[in-house]
Chain A
Amino acid sequence: MSDMPLTGREAAPDRSRPVPFRGGGFKPVRVRYLGAVVIVALIALIEWGTRTGVISNLTLPRPSDVLGTFRDLWVSGLLWDHLLPSLSRLAVGSALGVSAGIAVGVMIGLFSLARAGLVPLVAAIFPIPKIALLPLFVIWFGIDEGSKYALIAFGTFTPTVVSTYGAVDNVDRTLIRMGQSFGLTWWSIVRKIVLPGALPGILSGLRISLSIGIILLVAAEMLGARYGIGAYILEAGSLYDLERLFAGVVILSALGVLTSAAIGWAERRLLGWRV
């Protein structure tokens, strides 16, 4: 065997072949614009279907008609009459719910007493459909904005709590021990180690919380509001005005995409340190 050449092509030229590649994958890469292409293609397909009659006008409204309705909304100024109250309800309600949720979640993460006392309570209120409580909120906070703020705040609160204390639990303990070993104060450890370490988990929890906030916003507006996207959709639905109904739905989708993009932007800004 010792006289067999170990290198060089002359070893067995006819039997050499490249090693097949079997690695790669399982790693998300950023593909730009594909999401938009999928949406545009779907809309184009519906437009084509409704124009040729493959899809009847009763099944789905024609996208171009929805666009026309949208233009009317814009021109008449009704868009802002509906959008601005909705946006302010979402902003106030979710700001209340998310900030309370982060505060309680951090408490649960830091204090065993808070954990023992509050985790069962959170587990008990998490699965309640918050819409079922709207009449109660109307009695407590009034028929006006108060009950809508409360509903959205309550709905965003519980998922924020759960994701926040999970994120605090996942902060690397060796970093905390390091802080203690250098004699950092408790408050410094929380502020400079625990909170930044929990931020990735808190932000990804925020995506879920804010989507739930949008769902509850519409629900609250459907149950009692003159203006707002929910009210607009409800009115269109009761008249079977599919163009207006879809115009409202499109606004909601856009709202969802915008909040998600905002969180993505915040993640890229704040979490650039992640490996």
Chain B
Amino acid sequence: MDLHLDRLSHRYGAVEVLSDISLTIPQGRIVCIVGPSGCGKSTLLRMIGGLERPDAGAVLQQGDAPDGCLNPLTFVFQDFALLPWRTVAGNVELVLEDHPLPRDRRDRIVADVLARTKLSDFRDALPKQLSGGMKQRVAIARALAVNPAVMLMDEPLSALDAQTRELLMDDLIALWTRAPFTAVYVTHNLAEAVRLGHRIVVLSRRPGRIREVVSIDTPLAARRAGDPALEAHQARLWQLMRDEAEAADKELGDV
């Protein structure tokens, strides 16, 4: 299933946040959206996921979701959004309980996604016992459990420390390599974008418009931290964003 954004625009009151965004998210690719803070990237993601309604334009699903898909557009949130009163397995089960699945099928899905995210040993732990990186892996396991057509990741690694972020990036790459998924990945971290993105969409400062779309052809599994080609991409992205970010920084002071 591809996603197509058709001339999306949005304003909060008098403030225009997004202007005329048109973009295609092809199946099996990770599209990163980067931009200075306050450029509306999270708003854009919420619109793609149907949590917010654009003032103009539309988000179109093209083609059918894969078989066994329980929730085509599935979010992974920056602050994990785990229910603190449920165990790891309970948090994953939460999103399956509203679907008419036989008990053993549900158990199999939970066991499978926990194994894929290396959480099988922690299935009965409560979120308060887990580190930030583990919590985000639970959230990723929960997202995988519904077999999504598109994963919508809203700065999923931003709440984590640098080392954990590296480890989780490797995990995401491993997950993608085993079973390529489609994702829209919002981040302000350019290093993440060049490691994970097949395409990187650079938004301008508010009102967010697409400034440029950069494609990186290196396979995900072959990308390493410190790879000169990636560094070059990252430097170029920073060139594109630098002035915008600087201007956005000053602008926010006025609000």
Asked whether A and B interact, the reply is yes
Given the known inter-chain contacts A182-B71, A188-B97, please indicate yes or no for A177 contacting B128, CB distance below 8 A. Answer: no
Alpha-carbon separation in the docked complex, A98 to B79 (Å): 34
A263 to chain B, nearest CB (A): 18
B74–A182 contact, CB under 8 A? yes
Q: Mark A28-69, 1 if CB is under 8 A from B, else 0.
A: 000000000000000000000000000000000000000000
B232 CB–A CB distance under 8 Å: no
A177–B51 contact, CB under 8 A? yes
State which of B75, B79, B81, B95 has its C-beta within 8 Å of the C-beta of A184: B95
Given the known inter-chain contacts A181-B49, A184-B98, A192-B94, please indicate yes or no for A273 contacting B81, CB distance below 8 A. Answer: no
B84 / chain A contacts, CB cutoff of 8 Å: 273-275
State which of B83, B127, B142 has its C-beta within 8 Å of the C-beta of A193: B83
- What are 28 A-B pairs at a CB distance below 8 A? A174-B81, A178-B75, A179-B94, A180-B51, A181-B51, A181-B73, A181-B75, A182-B74, A182-B75, A182-B95, A182-B142, A183-B71, A183-B98, A184-B95, A185-B98, A188-B97, A192-B94, A192-B97, A196-B83, A197-B85, A272-B126, A273-B85, A273-B86, A273-B126, A273-B128, A274-B128, A275-B84, A275-B128
B128 / chain A contacts, CB cutoff of 8 Å: 273-275
B176 CB–A CB distance under 8 Å: no
B97 / chain A contacts, CB cutoff of 8 Å: 188, 192
Given the known inter-chain contacts A178-B77, A181-B51, please indicate yes or no for A192 contacting B83, CB distance below 8 A. Answer: yes
B200 CB–A CB distance under 8 Å: no
A121 CB–B CB distance under 8 Å: no
A181–B74 contact, CB under 8 A? yes
How many A-B residue pairs have C-beta atoms within 8 angstroms? Tell me. 55
List 7 other contacts, CB 8 Å, given A196-B83, A273-B84: A177-B81, A178-B75, A181-B75, A182-B94, A183-B70, A183-B98, A273-B128
A167 to chain B, nearest CB (A): 14
A84 CB–B CB distance under 8 Å: no
Query: Which residue of the partner chain B has the closest CB to A185?
Result: B98
Alpha-carbon separation in the docked complex, A192 to B91 (Å): 11
A175 / chain B contacts, CB cutoff of 8 Å: 81, 83
A179 to chain B, nearest CB (A): 8
Query: Which residues of chain B from 39 to 97 have any CB-CB distance to chain A below 8 Å in the complex?
Result: 49-51, 70-71, 73-75, 77, 79, 81, 83-86, 94-95, 97
B3 CB–A CB distance under 8 Å: no
A274 / chain B contacts, CB cutoff of 8 Å: 84, 128
Q: Main secondary structure on chain A at its contact with chain B?
A: helix
State which of A181, A188, A197 has its C-beta within 8 Å of the C-beta of B98: A188
Alpha-carbon separation in the docked complex, A75 to B79 (Å): 62
**B residues engaging A (CB < 8 A)?**
49-51, 70-71, 73-75, 77, 79, 81, 83-86, 94-95, 97-98, 126-128, 142, 146, 152
Q: Main secondary structure on chain B at its contact with chain A?
A: loop
- Return the 8 tightest CB-CB contacts between A and B, nearest first: A178-B81, A273-B85, A182-B95, A181-B75, A275-B128, A273-B84, A196-B85, A183-B71
A178 / chain B contacts, CB cutoff of 8 Å: 75, 77, 81
Interface range on chain A (Cβ under 8 Å from partner): 20 to 34
B155 to chain A, nearest CB (A): 13
Alpha-carbon separation in the docked complex, A143 to B86 (Å): 48
Alpha-carbon separation in the docked complex, A174 to B126 (Å): 18
Query: Which residue of the partner chain A has the closest CB to B85?
Result: A273
A180 / chain B contacts, CB cutoff of 8 Å: 51
B45 to chain A, nearest CB (A): 10
Alpha-carbon separation in the docked complex, A197 to B84 (Å): 9
Alpha-carbon separation in the docked complex, A175 to B83 (Å): 7
Query: Which residue of the partner chain A has the closest CB to B79?
Result: A174
Alpha-carbon separation in the docked complex, A175 to B142 (Å): 13
Alpha-carbon separation in the docked complex, A272 to B50 (Å): 34
B147 to chain A, nearest CB (A): 12
A194 to chain B, nearest CB (A): 11
Alpha-carbon separation in the docked complex, A188 to B75 (Å): 18
A170 to chain B, nearest CB (A): 14
A79 to chain B, nearest CB (A): 41
Alpha-carbon separation in the docked complex, A275 to B74 (Å): 27
Query: Which residues of chain A from 245 to 275 have any CB-CB distance to chain B below 8 Å in the complex?
Result: 272-275
B79 to chain A, nearest CB (A): 6
Alpha-carbon separation in the docked complex, A275 to B129 (Å): 9
Query: Which residue of the partner chain B has the closest CB to A187?
Result: B98
B150 to chain A, nearest CB (A): 12
A185 / chain B contacts, CB cutoff of 8 Å: 98
Alpha-carbon separation in the docked complex, A204 to B235 (Å): 54
B98 / chain A contacts, CB cutoff of 8 Å: 183-185, 188
